[in-house]
Chains A and B, each alone.
Chain A
Amino acid sequence: DTGVSQDPRHKITKRGQNVTFRCDPISEHNRLYWYRQTLGQGPEFLTYFQNEAQLEKSRLLSDRFSAERPKGSFSTLEIQRTEQGDSAMYLCASSYLTSTDTQYFGPGTRLTVL
């Protein structure tokens, strides 16, 4: 299977701890997106990369959040000093820059902050 993969699938942490998530996109895709989804809501855009450049960040992305995509391949999303409000599903998606720009999603990382 060559879809989008995310690791870990589940993460439980205590408030104040730092966490890091990894996303591996579909290999030929040059765009990579991060979303956050809470129960009963649709995904909310956080940030996206085109190759290694981070082109846009949502106002939802506070200073405690940082994302990287070194060498334009996999990406990491780090949350520092986690808060209970950070508990959510973090989704990664990738696309190939064309007129269609269809985004394909990974299985997500479920974060629970105690």
Chain B
Amino acid sequence: EDQVTQSPEALRLQEGESSSLNCSYTVSGLRGLFWYRQDPGKGPEFLFTLYSAGEEKEKERLKATLTKKESFLHITAPKPEDSATYLCAAFPYGQNFVFGPGTRLSVLP
């Protein structure tokens, strides 16, 4: 069965303290790995799509990387406005998105 897990469940950082979020996936064939940001009470906001192992994408303080079994979202020098839940979703061939439970990130000033 296709499965996506994320760790840690919650993460507290001081402003400027860099860290990484993990997304582990078990799917029959990966078409793409997606990262979204979700603020409380709102819908997920698209961040990145990764398609093959070794691929990296960057946007401001965020960088996403992909291996054959995991994806990492690296946050460099975070600011309080980066506080949100970060969701990853695996997109298997012939099926629909499988989301992980998310990592709740809090960045303290």
Enumerate chain A interface residues (CB-CB to B < 8 A).
4, 6, 33, 40-45, 48, 56, 91, 93, 100-108, 110
Contacts and interface: CB of A to CB of B under 8 A. Distances in A.
Given A101-B32, A101-B91, A108-B43, A43 B99 contact: yes
Interface size class of B (residues with CB under 8 A): 20 to 34
Contacts of A42: 4, 87, 89, 99-102
Contact of B97 (A6, A45, A107): A45
Contacts of B41: 108, 110
Contacts of B87: 42-43
Interface of B: 4, 31-32, 34, 36, 41-46, 49, 87, 89, 91, 96-102
A63 B22 CA distance: 37
Contacts, number: 52
A23 to B, nearest CB: 11
Nearest to B42: A107
A80 B46 CA distance: 32
A40 to B, nearest CB: 7
Contacts of A102: 34, 46, 49
Contacts of B34: 102-103
B65 to A, nearest CB: 18
B77 to A, nearest CB: 27
12 contacts: A33-B97, A40-B101, A42-B4, A42-B89, A42-B100, A43-B99, A48-B96, A101-B91, A105-B45, A105-B46, A106-B43, A108-B41
A7 B31 CA distance: 32
Given A45-B98, A101-B91, 14 more contacts: A33-B97, A41-B101, A42-B89, A42-B100, A42-B101, A44-B99, A48-B96, A101-B31, A102-B46, A103-B46, A103-B97, A105-B43, A105-B44, A107-B43
